Amino acid sequence: MSVKNVRYNYVIGDVQGCFEALKALLRQIQFDADQDFLWFAGDLVARGENSLGALRFIKKLVEQGHAATVLGNHDLNLLAVARGIKPSKPNDQIDDVIHALESDDLIDWLRRQPLCLFPNEHTVLTHAGIPCNWSAEQAAELAKEVQSVIAHDDFAVMDAFLSHMYGKPPDLWSDDLQGHERLRCITNYLTRMRLTDATGRLEFSFKDSLTDPMPEGFKPWFEFESQAAKTHQVLFGHWAALQGKTLSEQIQNVDGGCVWGNQLLAYRLEDQQLFAVDNPCA
């Protein structure tokens, strides 16, 4: 999707239930729903002080045509918990969503959100990035395969995917992958990726900063020549330790680590300006 006739487009980093920080950020950028548009990088919920409030607010913005969001790994986790696929963990702090009066409506809305968006013809947004050997268009097509299963009219189809979603193998993409292994691999690239090797093989244990020692043979996915970055600016969240770092002219992180006591970020597409607010609930 793309949005026409707006003043500014802002890409918002991982909210993770930090509703007070989100409201503070929108005040700072002087967000005007009649003129501006928000693109959320996923992980709307989990670990912050008010996942329910944040999810209600963002859902309303999207339904009113003022925002769009991709799904992150914590959003998918919420779906799995809500559907009884896995138990809720206290640190997730999503029980307020699970027990809300309108929980079914919130979950049904969330499962219908995409994993990849194009804020304009020159930019692409996913939660964790795009592996070096995928083009932006390929990432979007593969994302649709997962989206169609999560948003399927038959809840049993979604539940089957969610029950097979967790796991590391296969850790390397192949066009020959099929079934739940194919869907799991796509999901891991778009929502969990940090390090890969030169072939695009995923490494799942590393979550630290760029200055910390990394497993041999692996580097941040964006340090390899990116097919997607040849045609689009790639925007992503997910990696809190990056603190909204600009990795190149074509690759921009927007996760300021708000839920960890740092900042919530908004990246303005029109002039590449980055806005930040401290987490008032840290």
pLDDT digit string, tens, across residues 214-224: 999 999 999 99
- Could you give all domains of the chain from N- to C-terminal order, each with its CATH number? 8-278 (3.60.21.10)
Per-residue pLDDT at 241: 96
Residue 193 burial (10 A CB sphere; 0-12, 13-18, 19+): buried
- Strand 195-196 vs strand 123-125: parallel, antiparallel, or unpaired? unpaired
Is the N-terminal amide bond of 170 cis, ω within 30° of 0? yes
What's the pLDDT tens digit per position in 8-34? Answer: 999 999 999 999 999 999 999 999 999
Per-residue pLDDT at 5: 80
88 secondary structure, DSSP code: P
What's the pLDDT tens digit per position in 130-168? Answer: 999 999 999 999 999 999 999 999 999 999 999 999 999
Distances (CA, A) of 173 to 50, 119, 162: 36, 26, 19
**In which band, very low, low, confident or very high, does the pLDDT at 2 lie, cut at 50, 70 and 90?**
very low
What's the pLDDT tens digit per position in 72-126? Answer: 999 999 999 999 999 999 889 999 999 999 999 999 999 999 999 999 999 999 9
Q: Is 18 in contact with 26 (CB distance < 8 Å)?
A: no
Per-residue pLDDT at 269: 98
pTM as predicted: 0.96
Across the chain, mean pLDDT equals: 96
Per-residue pLDDT at 185: 98
85 phi, psi to nearest 5 deg: -75, -35
- Strand 36-40 vs strand 8-12: parallel, antiparallel, or unpaired? parallel
Task: Please give the helix or strand (H or E) that residue 268 lies within, else none.
Answer: strand 263-268
Q: How far apart are CA 230 and CA 6, in angstroms?
A: 26
